[in-house]
Amino acid sequence: MKDYSKVAFDLIKAAQAHEEYRSKECVNLIASEGLKSPAVNELLGLAKDLSCRYCEGENDLKGRVKARHYQGLRYIIKIENYTADLMKEVLGCDWIDIRPLSGTQANQVAFFGLSAISNNNKMAVAPLSSGAHISHDYTGLAGQLAKLEIVNLIFNVEELNIDPDESAKIIRAARPGIVTFGGSLFQFPHPVRELTGVAKEVGAYVVYDAAHVLGLIAAGQFQDPLGEGADFVTGSTHKTFPGPQGGLVFSNLTVEGKMDKGKTAAAKAIQHAIHPLSTSNTHPGRFPALGLAALEIKLHGEKLAKQTIKNAQVAGQHLFENGIKVLGEKHGFTKSHQIAVDVKSFGGGKVVAQKLEKANIILNKNLLPFENQKNKDNPSGIRVGFQDVTRRGYREDDVRYLCDLIVSVINEIKTPSSIKEEVITLAKRFGKIQYGFQSLREVLEYLNK
Ligand SMILES: Cc1ncc(COP(=O)(O)O)c(C=O)c1O
């Protein structure tokens, strides 16, 4: 290293600069990123000792701590249990594991656990280019780590959704051990209800990856995967669910008043995949903040989710009316927090995302459902998510104004640098994070009432 003290100094400066740049000067539209309230951030910052500790061991079939193997855990055990209880309450499930460190790891433990007890090592899932996550694919975790043979469900590009009839044929022919729904480019609820029966017919477990839409589901504003027949739901706690970065997996193991044998065996296999197979330290410093985010969802989730979805739909309509090809017009563009936009005629997703970045509008390039995965370096699309701006208080007119700025950059009516000041002003106007608590004091006052 050249001069370690200079590098350390630069590191601290970069960390400070990042906070200023992305939280105060940019408009953040990356669909996989969430926003924590000031109180959730405060609780995360408070967990100084907690984030030094280990608490590895086994959990029970209520998602609570069963055994831990170190000393000094009298509060940590309570913290994990309280957090799990709050999460079960908002997610309407009777079993949860909040120990996975991310959505990817949640998929890992679900795929490892289920493939250990299912009929075979085949998994049916939507193709990567039509919105599945890399962890579902044969090129990613599912194929390379879990060694699953991936069979693709049929995706209807017109409908922007999995085709239930054609996919039923695939499931019947391939007889996979796991069928997985959910995705990264995910505007419309997947046909879980329509395909669960077929999955059960061939003895498959049904997994639903709710990484993107967990906050919408918790607020009752997207589909209800467990209610529609999914056996297990995996997810991230930091996208539309406004908690600290982390992952989880949950289920209802009780069916008609009795513990379901197949699901219970599967939950045990997933727990084994969590510990000892893939976690030692579970980063317990995030748990209190996660529990508080669950309380905020309980109190404000419905309003937040409704406005997020409305903002995404308004953006779709407004961009479309301004000559930008937003996908899904016939279904109102989206029923989630995100839209997909075809910008091929403006140079492609990479070019457009880079231009917008120069204007401090941050979003990502994305493959569109009809294109070849080989286009991933400069795909035709961009994906735009509205959960961050909504939490900052944007309503329909603010979204239209933001879309006008985006259109002026895409159409090259204005240069990115010429609108950057407007974007910074806009970002500063929406400095206050809403639909949550401003401080821990406010939380305690509310709870003591
Ligand atoms: C559908 C889906 N699953 C899993 C993940 C991975 O989640 P994480 O980033 O928490 O590992 C993502 C990431 O965006 C995703 O889109």
| Interval 258-284 mean pLDDT | 97
Confidence band of 296 (pLDDT split at 50, 70, 90): very high
Q: Other C-beta atoms within 10 Å of 281: how many? A: 14
CA 123 to CA 143: how far, in whole Å?
A: 9
Contacts of 150 (CB under 8 A, 6+ apart): 122, 123, 124, 125, 136, 137, 138, 142, 143
| Interval 227-233 mean pLDDT | 98
One domain for residues 372 and 396: yes
Query: Does 35 score more than 90 pLDDT?
Result: yes
**Is cis: bond before 369, omega within 30 of 0?**
no
* 446 Cα: distance to centroid of ligand 1 (angstroms): 33
One domain for residues 263 and 327: no
The pLDDT score that the predictor gives to residue 119 is 85
CA 89 to CA 76: how far, in whole Å?
A: 20
Which residue, of 261, 289, 317, is where some domain finishes?
A: 289
The pLDDT score that the predictor gives to residue 378 is 87
Q: Give the CATH number of the domain where residue 405 resides.
A: 3.90.1150.10
* 68 Cα: distance to centroid of ligand 1 (angstroms): 29
pLDDT, one tens digit per residue, over 162-212 is: 999 999 999 999 999 999 999 999 999 999 999 999 999 999 999 999 999
Confidence band of 349 (pLDDT split at 50, 70, 90): very high
Q: Other C-beta atoms within 10 Å of 33: how many? A: 18
Q: Give the CATH number of the domain where residue 98 resides.
A: 3.40.640.10
Confidence band of 449 (pLDDT split at 50, 70, 90): confident
Residue 27 lies in a domain: no
* 183 Cα: distance to centroid of ligand 1 (angstroms): 8
| Interval 347-364 mean pLDDT | 97
The pLDDT score that the predictor gives to residue 1 is 60
Task: Say whether 310 sits in a helix, a strand or coil.
Answer: helix
One domain for residues 251 and 364: no
Residue 19 lies in a domain: no
Q: ∠ CA 248-250-256 to the nearest 5 degrees?
A: 175
Minimum CA distance residue for ligand 1 atom 15: 184
Residues having CB closer than 6 A to ligand 1 are: 32, 102-104, 107, 133, 135, 182-184, 209, 211-212, 236, 247
One domain for residues 385 and 240: no
Q: Are 349 and 384 within 8 A, CB to CB?
A: no
Residue 335 lies in a domain: yes
One domain for residues 148 and 248: yes
The reply to whether the predicted model has a pTM over 0.95 is yes
- Domains held by the chain: number: 2
* 303 Cα: distance to centroid of ligand 1 (angstroms): 24
**Range of the structural domain that residue 169 is part of:** 43-289
* 118 Cα: distance to centroid of ligand 1 (angstroms): 24
* Mutation to probe ligand 1, out of 123, 137, 184 (largest number of atoms < 8 A from CB): 184
Average pLDDT, the chain: 97
- The beta-carbon contacts of 321-326 under 8 Å, at least 24 apart in sequence, are 322/403, 322/404, 322/407, 323/407, 323/411, 324/407, 324/410
* 112 Cα: distance to centroid of ligand 1 (angstroms): 17
One domain for residues 73 and 219: yes
Minimum CA distance residue for ligand 1 atom 9: 103
Residue 30 lies in a domain: no
Residue 313 lies in a domain: yes
* Mutation to probe ligand 1, out of 180, 186, 236, 338 (largest number of atoms < 8 A from CB): 236
